Amino acid sequence: MEETLTCKNTKLLSEVERRSGTKVSRCFQCHKCSTGCPVAPDMDYMSSQVMRLIILGQEEELLKSKAIWLCASCEACTTRCPMDIDITGVMDVLRMMAIERKVAEPDARSKEFNKAFLTSVRWHGRVFEAGMMAIYKLRSKDFFTDMDKVPKMLSKRKLALWPHFSRVAGEIRKVFKRAEEEEKKR
Amino acid sequence: MKYAFFPGCSLESTAWDLDKSARAVCKALEIELIDIPGWSCCGSTPAHVSNASLATALPAMNLQKAADMGMPITTVCASCYGRLRVANQKINDSDEERERVGRIIGKPYDGKVEVHHLLDVIVNKLGSEAVADKVERKLSGMKVACYYGCLLSRPPEAVAFDNPEHPSVMEKLVAMTGAEAIEWPYKTECCGASLSISNSDVVGRLSHRLLSMVRRAGAECVVVACPLCQVNLDLRQADATAAHGKLPETPILYFTQLLGLALGLPEEELGLEALMVSAAPLLSMV
Ligand code: SF4
Ligand code: SF4
């Protein structure tokens, strides 16, 4: 018999609600969030569908989706939801779960960008763009995009070649460590 | 007026012109900016999508330093502004979060330092009369689209100093300069923000949509208050029009650059040469 979607498996729903602090179960599928979402045309599941899949317990489908890596965190959905659901916060939690469970969509370039960005902050206390781009390019293997912009950016002094270290760079590394430990306790 | 200034990482590279023009404008308006000593990154979008504890702790490090200075913070980056405000809100709303942040940053912080975007400081705290006294060059005839993007007005409970769907603070600033702010429907639509590097195709589509509406509404340039909006509309403009259809070149100015011009500050002090799409043809007409 074909598998039918039921709400029997509420494990995913409770985990997402606990970690995001928002009530996904209140969603009544009005689609207002998806209507205003700038990246809805690029997503495999629009935000309202993501909410529905959480309620239906479709963990694998969601954590492997492209949608969670295309969300630009613009907060339009959260601002407009008539049921006061923090959809942007839910997207954050789904991304973290996908990484923790090592099932994230392999082609998620924004995931590599986030990693490169945070590595740069961890080392310097501030973002060092040229260094961050090098890490991003190595991780994503996306070597050519934007290389044509480099000469122009250099001539406009928009790409610093040397990092600016924050005076508290050492302290920042400890903060990263402690934040990672605290996060595991949640 | 005295503020602890949080520049943010972009101001040291892609947005050095925002840094320069913000400092020049504040000097002219007698707003004293004191850089937060040893400031560090706010974590921006990558932190809040990766680790909730880090996303609050990184801004809190800077907030705590401003608390030691005994001053409110001002910043010119919409993303830094949002992250600092959201961290304050989380710390204020929950004892658990406040204690966790204290453990991570190794110092107590009570969530009480005020954070204002410089737009808010100039328009609402200083006020139009104080600015009007200092305007030396009216930018009459210039038609401007004010673009807020996503993070300046959202999420509203944490950041909004204005109506989240229909803000008007930038229009008030444009009015001070003598230029005309046109009405247009996409002023709080997102440009793709932090997808800029990883998904530049998506950003190109969104930027083109915004720029074509700017032109249809009759504006000749855009004013922004966020380094990411500026990069996505300016640096990516040529790619966007090549991929999605030709449009007249549209200069993307920071609000501080526009105001600086009206205050009669020399162009070198405003970093106008950093714009990818030059504003020179536009400025020669006012
Ligand atoms: S706007 Fe809110 S209630 Fe409506 S579909 Fe989206 S999440 Fe559900
Ligand atoms: S926050 Fe993400 S899901 Fe919500 S509207 Fe913006 S891009 Fe779409």
Angle B13-B14-B17 from CA coordinates, rounded to 5°: 90
Is A109 in CB contact (< 8 Å) with chain B?
yes
- Using DSSP's 3-state secondary structure scheme, residue A166 falls into coil
Task: Give residue B169's pLDDT band: very low, low, confident or very high (50, 70, 90).
Answer: very high
CATH class, domain B2-118, is mainly alpha
- The number of angstroms, rounded, from the C-alpha of B246 to the middle of its chain's C-alpha atoms is 27
Tell me the CA–centroid distance for residue B8 and ligand 2, in Å. Answer: 24
Is A167 in CB contact (< 8 Å) with chain B?
yes
Altogether, the residues listed in chain A come to a count of: 186
Is A2 in CB contact (< 8 Å) with chain B?
no
Domains, in order of start, for chain A: 1-104 (1.10.1060), 107-186 (no CATH)
Percent of chain B with pLDDT over 70: 100
Question: Over 90: is that where the pLDDT of A105 sits?
Answer: no
Question: Which of A72-86, A166-180, B69-83, B169-183 bottoms out in mean pLDDT, i.e. has the lowest?
Answer: A166-180
Of B46, B54, B192, the CB nearest to A179: B54
Domain locations in chain B? 2-118, 136-283
Alpha-carbon separation of residue A117 from A81, A125, A126, B45, B90 (angstroms): 30, 11, 9, 10, 23
Query: How close, in Å, is residue B235 to chain A by CA atoms?
Result: 8
Question: Which of A145-154, B42-51, B106-115, B268-277 bottoms out in mean pLDDT, i.e. has the lowest?
Answer: A145-154
Question: Over 60: is that where the pLDDT of B103 sits?
Answer: yes
pLDDT digits (tens, 9 = 90+) for B2-53: 999 999 999 998 899 999 999 999 999 999 999 999 999 999 989 998 999 9
- Closest ligand (CA of B149): 2
Intra-chain end-to-end CA distance of chain A, in Å: 39
pLDDT at B88: 97
Q: Is B249 left (phi over 0), alpha (psi -120 to 50) or beta?
A: beta
The residue among B238, B264, B267 whose CA lies nearest residue B251 is B238
Query: How close, in Å, is residue A3 to chain B by CA atoms?
Result: 33
Question: Over 70: is that where the pLDDT of B134 sits?
Answer: yes
Q: Which of A24, A35, A47 to mutate to test the pocket of ligand 2 (most atoms within 8 A of CB)?
A: A47
Of A74, A167, A183, the CB nearest to B150: A74
What is the atom index within ligand 2 of the atom nearest the CA of A87? 4
Query: How close, in Å, is residue B38 to chain A by CA atoms?
Result: 5
Q: Burial letters for A130-153: b for 16+ Cβ neighbours within 10 Å, e otherwise?
A: bbbbebbbeebebeebbeebeeeb
Is A47 in CB contact (< 8 Å) with chain B?
no
The residue among A171, A110, A178 whose CA lies nearest residue B49 is A110
pLDDT at A1: 43
pLDDT digits (tens, 9 = 90+) for B40-58: 999 998 999 899 999 999 9
Q: A146: which chain B residues are within 8 Å (Cβ-Cβ)?
A: 197, 200
Nearest CA owner, ligand 1 atom 2:
A81
What's the ipTM?
Answer: 0.89
Q: What is the pTM of this model?
A: 0.93
pLDDT at B101: 97
Task: Give residue B283's pLDDT band: very low, low, confident or very high (50, 70, 90).
Answer: very high
Nearest CA owner, ligand 2 atom 8:
A37
As a CATH number, domain B136-283 is 3.40.50.11810
H helical segments located in chain A:
11-20, 32-35, 47-55, 59-63, 67-70, 76-80, 87-100, 109-124, 129-140, 150-155, 169-185
Q: A168: which chain B residues are within 8 Å (Cβ-Cβ)?
A: 38, 40, 61
Helix (H) or strand (E) holding B115: strand B115-117
CA distance A98 to B263: 51
CA distance B40 to B98: 20
